[in-house]
Amino acid sequence: AQTVTQSQPEMSVQEAETVTLSCTYDTSESNYYLFWYKQPPSRQMILVIRQEAYKQQNATENRFSVNFQKAAKSFSLKISDSQLGDTAMYFCAFIGMNRDDKIIFGKGTRLHILP
């Protein structure tokens, strides 16, 4: 069974710093998707970034980028020039490529951006 592990329950960084959130996963599949979701205090779950496993190039969305290491089954999220609005819970997630595969979420990392 697939699992997703986020080893950092909580982190704090100063505004404008760069922060990296860790995520590892376990699967026997070769093709799959990985995601990072953000959940701010408003509770809304927002998709931050997605990565297809068959793409070697790391995904980037503005200040958010990932370091995808397929062999190591690692998928970390880097937030550059962090802003107060980045304060949120961040969830790493995995899903296989079959239509009926269900998404597997990690337990989350609570990130505090300090002024």
Question: Which residues of the shown chain bind other proteins in the complex (CB under 8 A)?
Answer: 33, 35, 37, 42-47, 50, 91, 95-103, 105-108
Q: How far is the CB of 69 from other proteins (least distance, A)?
A: 21
Least CB distance to other proteins at residue 6 (A): 9
CB of 96 to other proteins, least distance (A): 7
DSSP helix/strand/coil, 12: strand
15 vs 61, beta carbon nearer other proteins: 61
Output the CA torsion sign for 26, 59, 111, 105: negative
Phi, psi of 24 (to 5 degrees): -125, 155
Distance CA 12, CA 57 (A): 28
